[in-house]
Amino acid sequence: DTGVSQNPRHKITKRGQNVTFRCDPISEHNRLYWYRQTLGQGPEFLTYFQNEAQLEKSRLLSDRFSAERPKGSFSTLEIQRTEQGDSAMYLCASNEAGAQETQYFGPGTRLLVL
Amino acid sequence: SQKIEQNSEALNIQEGKTATLTCNYTNYSPAYLQWYRQDPGRGPVFLLLIRENEKEKRKERLKVTFDTTLKQSLFHITASQPADSATYLCALDMAGGSTLGRLYFGRGTQLTVWP
């Protein structure tokens, strides 16, 4: 499968714990996006990378959130000191800058904070 | 800030009929607008993109229109089938077609096609 992959698919954690999600984009894509989606809502933009550079962060991305893409390939999204309000589906998408406007989404990681 | 409204949270139609979904937006004028399909527990899947200088685009049973004066896009599925049942998301760029690439999504319309 050459699509976008995300791991884990599901994560249950207790409030206050740290969690880390991974996204592997389509290999030739240099742009990688993170979105958050809550029930009944559309995806909300969090941040995006072009290669290894993080070019934009949403105001939704509080100080407890950090994202990296160290080698311009896979990316990680870490949430520190999780809160119940962090419960959501975290989606990753990728595309090729300048060549595509469409974004290719992964299956998402569903986070539940107890 | 940009506001995107999709006409209703749910739309139920009979198989074989045409489903019409509406997306309205305010403030900015996007360079393009996209429609995605999302099944439960899955990520969105791209369906169609229409640019600001295009009035209509078709792909098989799908048709999208884009009226920049009304700030509205209509998404049609003709000869609908139960397999078309899903949530359909409208998305647009914020930056007038620049290279930023971030998308703003509506909350989606859940379509159910019954036999």
Per-residue model confidence as pLDDT tens digits over B33-88: 999 999 999 999 999 999 888 999 999 999 999 998 899 999 999 999 999 999 99
The pLDDT tens digits for A75-111 are 999 999 999 999 999 999 999 877 668 899 999 999 9
Among A23, A14, A25, CA closest to A90 = A23
A–B interface: beta-carbon pairs under 8 A = 61
Q: Touching check for A45 and chain B: CB below 8 Å?
A: yes
Work out the mean pLDDT of chain B and round it to a whole number: 89
**Is pLDDT above 80 for B101?**
no
What pLDDT score does B102 carry?
Answer: 80
Chain B 17-56, CB below 8 Å of chain A: which residues? 32, 34, 36, 41-46, 49
Q: Which of B42, B91, B102 lies at the smallest CB-CB distance from A56?
A: B102
Supply the mean pLDDT for chain A. 93
Whether the CB of A3 is below 8 Å from some CB of chain B: the reply is no
Q: List the single residue in B with minimal CA-CA distance to A38.
A: B107
User: What average pLDDT does this structure show over A19-47?
Assistant: 95
